[in-house]
Amino acid sequence: MRSDDFKQGSLFISDNGASKGVSRVLLTEQQVNARVQELGQTLTRDYSNREVVFLAVLKGALYFLTDLIRNVDLPLTVGVTSIERSLVDGEYNISSTIRDHSMIKGKHVVIVEDIVDTGHTIAALIKSVEEQSPTSIKVCTLLDKVSKREVEVPVDYLGFEIPPLFVVGYGLDYEEYYRNLPFIGVIEDASWDPVSELRAKSQKSNS
Ligand code: IMP
Ligand code: MG
């Protein structure tokens, strides 16, 4: 569905009986696409005459990555990485798995993310990429909820700073849904707290 066709009530999924609907459009596909094009041009300028590895965080950043690199005019390669969230002795722990180690060593790496919220995910990622001895690491994120930050992280390339809302579309999901929307929409009263989710899961498996 295009943002021009969006009407309140036209997009919702049922989550445990509660319907979770997109209440409004925050950024249209035209706004997103124009900004992605600008970011691609800036990266092309900043990395001229250098080779870059674009490392995307599964799954949300894939959508942004594929559009972004088509606006980058450089010799480049693409990698993916995933995040594992767990409770270790009751403490929230994020780790990441780099699948292709050889492609990072000695390279200029741009980490591509869909959204930075508290900053914990990016902080964990930077740490794991650093362990692979790249020449440089920069962070490129489409969205940033600056006001929610808990740990300081560098954001070198930013699409849009947004208020502390729960957003979906262009790769971002609510319970895995809505990734396919070409625009960024808002879900009112939705929140996602990975720590509580993990606690609930571990309580369930212990009982
Ligand atoms: P952080 O570790 O708190 O910075 O969270 C980053 C991750 O949380 C992102 O990679 C997303 O997977 C998820 N996330 C944070 N905010 C949103 C949102 O508004 N919509 C969808 N996913 C989100
Ligand atoms: Mg993500």
**Can you give the pLDDT at residue 196?**
80
Q: Which of 49-63, 128-142, 183-197 has the lowest mean pLDDT?
A: 183-197
For residue 96, the one-letter residue type is: S
- In angstroms, the CA 25 to CA 38 distance is 21
**Can you give the pLDDT at residue 207?**
67
pLDDT above 60: residue 8: yes
pLDDT above 90: residue 107: yes
For ligand 1, mutation pick of 82, 117, 198 (most atoms within 8 Å of CB): 117
Rg (CA), the chain: 18
The whole-chain average pLDDT of the chain stands at 90
- In angstroms, the CA 94 to CA 83 distance is 7
**Can you give the pLDDT at residue 165?**
94
pLDDT above 70: residue 189: yes
**DSSP 3-state of 175:** coil
Angle (nearest 5°) at CA 123 between 119 and 127: 175
**Can you give the pLDDT at residue 36?**
98
18-27: strand order across its sheet: 12-15, 18-27, 184-187, 166-168
For the segment 93-108, the average pLDDT, to the nearest whole number, is 83
**Can you give the pLDDT at residue 139?**
98
For ligand 1, mutation pick of 62, 94, 115, 155 (most atoms within 8 Å of CB): 115
pLDDT band at residue 15 under the 50/70/90 scheme: low
Higher pLDDT, 108 or 87: 108
- Ligand 1 atom 3: the closest Cα is on which residue? 118
pLDDT of 157-174, one tens digit each?
A: 999 999 999 999 999 999
Active site positions, annotated: 117
- Ligand 1 atom 15: the closest Cα is on which residue? 117
pLDDT above 80: residue 102: no
Cα–Cα separations (whole angstroms), residue 84 to 51, 121, 169:
29, 10, 22
pLDDT of 44-97, one tens digit each?
A: 999 999 999 999 999 999 999 999 999 999 999 999 998 888 888 877 888 887
Give the number of the atom of ligand 1 that is nearest the alpha carbon of residue 118: 3
Give the binding-site residues of ligand 1, using a 6 Å CB cut-off. 60, 113-121, 166-168, 172, 192
